Amino acid sequence: MPGTTHLLKLSAGTESVDSLIDWQGTRRAHGDDGLPRHVTRMWPRREEEVLNGGSIYWVIKGLIQCRQRILRFDPVTGQDGINRCALVLDPELIRTAAAPKRAFQGWRYLLPADAPPDLPRTRANEEPLPPELAGVLAQIGVL
């Protein structure tokens, strides 16, 4: 049985976890099955490890702020005829402890040991800190 690994992805144009939730609530973000998805050009080579309990960790405003469980990968063909990979996601977004992350292109693998912990459910609905403050506090190890 393979181990588990996660994916790390920038959520381009997203201002907050709430705006990611809003985007994923739109019809455009869903497949025919009603589940949110994110389409990417590359198919993960470590597919079995990701599908063994992996999540996509979203980087918003320079901080890892939340994650979603990855349910499956679906092949999709774009309007340009190019084959792509749709990451089919659990609709539940789980807030995580803020962790700074520099910008990068595409997605990256994230080992479970390097993933920030989930926030306790009692803190998940708290008003988030401003991204700049959360980033500084995470850098010095307070968050």
Q: Which residues pair with 118 in a beta bridge?
A: 96
pLDDT for the residue 44: 95
Q: What is the pLDDT of residues 80-101, one digit of tens each?
A: 999 999 999 999 999 999 999 9
C-beta of residue 57 within 8 angstroms of C-beta of residue 65 = no
Select from 82, 74, 94, 79 the least CA-distant residue to 6: 94
Band (pLDDT 50/70/90 cuts) for residue 126 is: low
Domain regions of the chain by residue span = 6-140
Q: What's the confidence (pLDDT) of residue 124?
A: 56
pLDDT > 80? residue 47: yes
- The first and second tokens of residue 109, run together, are 């693998």
Q: SS3 string of the chain?
A: CCCCCEEEEECCCCCCHHHHHHHHCCHHHECCCCCEEEEECCCCCCHHHHCCCCEEEEEECCEEEEEEEEEEEEEEECCCCCEEEEEEECCCCEEEEEEECCCCCCEEEECHHHCCCECCCCCCCCCCCCHHHHHHHHHCCCC
State the pLDDT at residue 135: 66
| Entry pTM | 0.85
Segment 100-118, tens digit of pLDDT: 998 888 899 999 999 999 9
